[in-house]
Chain A
Amino acid sequence: MALIVVVALPLLAAFLCWLRPLRRIAWVSTVILLALTLSAAVFTAWQVLLTGRVIAIAGWFEADGLSALLLLMVTFVCTVAAIYSGGYMRHETQSQDRLWWFYSNYNLFVFSLVAVPALARVNLVWVAVELVTLFATLLVGYESTPGALEAAWKMAILTIMGAPISLFGFLTLYWAFRTAGGGTSETWQSLCAMAATMSPSLLKLSFLLVFVGFGAKAGLAPMHTWLPDAHSQAPTPICAVLSGMKTTIPLYAVLRLLSVVLGSPDARIGEWMVILGLFSVGIAAFLLLQVRDYKRMFAYSTVEHMGIILTATGFATHAAAYGAVAQMLNHSITKSLCFYAAGMVLLALETRQISRVRGLFRISPFAGSALLLCSLAIAGAPPFPIFLSEFSILSAGLRSGHSAAVIVLAILIVIAFVAIFLQINSMLFGEPSPAATPVLAPRSCRTAILLAVAPVLVFGIYIPGPVHSLMTLAAQQLGGH
């Protein structure tokens, strides 16, 4: 039942924000209802830990370890981003009178994000992923400036073009499922059960199509070009959700399908995933060296992390799957924090150019320390959680006999690390320009940053027992042996 609540509450919130008398309190109702959604997601995850699988409506809405973890991530990131929006949007946006529209659309976006992991029916997952893209497009273009509209347009064309391609893939998948003797109820679970008997060539074709279609949405290179544009133009709280969850959710669907394909005999698709993942990491690592806009920098870092997750699942062992799941979790909590910090800088200095930001520590110690902390965390310095998950992915890769890939991956991660630090270093230290005045960030933004910092600080040192068991369950769903 809690699972239905998780899906229904954001819809209710969108409706409430749209009602005329309630438009003035759109932010308050969004935050309250999303916090309730988060608690319902926690309850669902707890039920999954107890019983292994939550079935709300059999064959339609079900949650296992992986989807429960994703639900937790989505609801946490989206709730904190909603809190952050309060102060940020009041200061930053040009279109104040349409804020109710922003929140209404934001809640619909959250609805589509939670629907993907909550749905068990594979064809409906396609619909939900497409809805994610559409609502994200509207939010990226919210400011209606030429830059924002251009970013929204690029994102729309590149990601919606993937829609028919992945639809073709899902229909082929259904064909494979039916000819192998599966019923009309095609869920992730029944797909995994039938994996060995489905025609390998059909499975491969459908995976290829879904990978092309959803890979563009997940921001995998070479289909990542919309990502930096969208992240530089969208309102900062939207960037946090875009980078933290909008890329992870299509990747989740791809990884689910990948676990089915890996279950079929004679599939060498794991090697391909390693190569494509490394390609994304490489492209991102070198682009990180030459960006000029700090929001774009964090966007390229997202491409890097999506590549790392894909590479890890390509290793196809249980340990690597655990690393991939941990990397997904750590990336979304850390990357959303990065954008909150970047938004603070933008509020204080009104520029996105790295070269125009100097001596941030003196202008705003709060924004400076948040930026330093999140860059250390996202680049993968110890003792932050990304260091742990990257380390476990590398060691799992070595043990599965992919030593060449592991060496390349390690080198690229180090390049990305150095690149991020060269950029951040020039922003944090030095003499501030005389025009800069100290700014106090809005209270809701500071609250959101403190909330977002907590898991990043804790998970690097200590992973609580329930979270660990949930991640282990999730890794089992990703397969591997």
Chain B
Amino acid sequence: MASAQTQLVQGLNALAAGLVLLAAFGMVTTRQVQGVLRFLIVQSLFVAASAFLIGFNRCSVDLLALGCIMIASKVITIPWVLRRLLPGELYERREIDQFINIPTSLLIALLLAIAAEFLVGPLVTASADPVVQANLPIGMAGLLIGAYSLIARREAIPQLIGILAMENGAFFAGIAVAPDLPLIAELAIAIDVILIVVVVGVLTRNITRAVGTTEAAAMSELREEPRRWR
């Protein structure tokens, strides 16, 4: 029988998992770039909270450090980098163009969350660890919903935020399935994510200067035109 403290931590962790999923839904339904970024920060905070909770319960320094890395990279550094590189993009443009309207998007996100449950279901039932049971399906759902918002949105910054949301999903599952990943690997992954933001941010800035828009759909100069053989 698990101790009262462990039960409390597991309950709180399940709450954090629910909030991570809710933040993912929030990202899909928000139409302002600023709002999407805020939901990403909130989601990252809950991922870090899950790492802190489990790290505290298992007395794992690695997990506590992972939580700190998460906050330092996703909550502090990445929003700062985005605001430095792309102030205009974040504040001036308000509405995001989307292929599919918001209610349908929400429905698709729900279906993806259910699909994630089925995808990792066999693995979850095989593991007796309640932390895995909470984090793995939610992490997979976060990954899929992030991928969906990346595909559905046509502008640079929301697409980048979609990639970061996918990364949050992978991290959230990682807290449960790979809690003792060597710290140097965690650190390298976090630095890599920051580099992704810097590179894509610089690219977006150059595109805005050269093309005048960051609508990915507006860029369609390169494509295959069939050759006619005489």
Contacts and interface: CB of A to CB of B under 8 A. Distances in A.
Interface of A: 121, 123-124, 126-127, 130-131, 134, 137-138, 141, 144-147, 149-154, 156-157, 160-161, 163-165, 167-168, 171-172, 174-175, 178, 184, 199, 201-202, 205, 228-229, 232-233, 287, 289-292, 296, 354-355, 422
Contacts of B167: 163-164, 167
Given A168-B169, A292-B225, A134 B143 contact: no
Interface stretch (B31-39, B47-55, B180-188): B180-188
Given A152-B203, A161-B147, A134 B166 contact: no
A36 to B, nearest CB: 26
A149 B178 contact: no
Contacts of B122: 201
A168 B192 contact: no
Those 3 A-B pairs whose CB atoms lie nearest each other, nearest first: A164-B166, A175-B177, A123-B185
Contacts of B150: 157, 161
B177 A172 contact: yes
Given A121-B185, A287-B224, 17 more contacts: A123-B188, A124-B184, A127-B188, A144-B210, A145-B210, A146-B210, A146-B211, A149-B207, A153-B219, A157-B159, A163-B196, A164-B163, A165-B170, A168-B143, A172-B177, A174-B178, A174-B181
Contact of A156 (B173, B203, B229): B203
Interface of A is mostly: helix
B123 interface: yes
A123 B181 contact: yes
B216 A153 contact: yes
A168 B140 contact: yes
A292 B227 contact: yes
B222 interface: yes
A153 B203 contact: yes
Most interface-central of B167, B171, B191, B192 (chain A CB within 10 A): B192
A157 B150 CA distance: 9
A124 B221 CA distance: 37
Interface string B190-230: 01100110011011001100110000100111101111010
Interface string B80-100: 000000000000000000000
11 contacts: A124-B184, A130-B195, A134-B196, A137-B203, A138-B202, A153-B203, A157-B150, A165-B170, A171-B174, A171-B177, A290-B226
Contacts of A153: 156, 203, 207, 216, 219
B119 to A, nearest CB: 8
B32 to A, nearest CB: 21
A149 B123 contact: no
Contacts of A167: 167, 170-171, 174, 189
A216 B195 CA distance: 19
A457 to B, nearest CB: 31
Given A144-B206, A164-B146, A164-B170, A150 B221 contact: yes
Contact of B166 (A121, A165, A289): A165
Contacts of B143: 164-165, 168
A186 to B, nearest CB: 9
Contacts of B225: 292
Given A146-B210, A290-B227, A292-B227, A151 B222 contact: yes
A2 B99 CA distance: 53
A124 B184 CA distance: 9
Interface in B42-69: none
B137 interface: no
Contacts of B222: 147, 150-151, 154, 229, 232-233
Interface string B125-163: 010000000000001100100110010000010010001
Contacts of B226: 290
B169 A164 contact: yes
A87 B219 CA distance: 31
Contacts of A154: 219, 222
A295 to B, nearest CB: 12
Chain B CB within 10 Å, residue with most, of A141, A164, A354:
A164
Contacts of B227: 289-292, 354-355
Nearest to A229: B222
Contacts of A201: 122-123, 126
B203 A131 contact: no
Nearest to B166: A164
B185 A149 contact: no
Contacts of B147: 161, 165
A178 B206 contact: no
Nearest to A126: B189
Contacts of A165: 143, 147, 166, 170
Contacts of B196: 130, 134, 160, 163
Contacts of B224: 228, 287, 290-291, 296
A431 to B, nearest CB: 16
Given A127-B192, A151-B222, A157 B180 contact: no
B210 A134 contact: no
Contacts of A202: 123
A160 B185 CA distance: 19
Nearest to A167: B170
A419 B124 CA distance: 49
Contacts of A151: 222
A34 B171 CA distance: 36
Contact of B221 (A144, A147, A228): A147
Contacts of B126: 199, 201
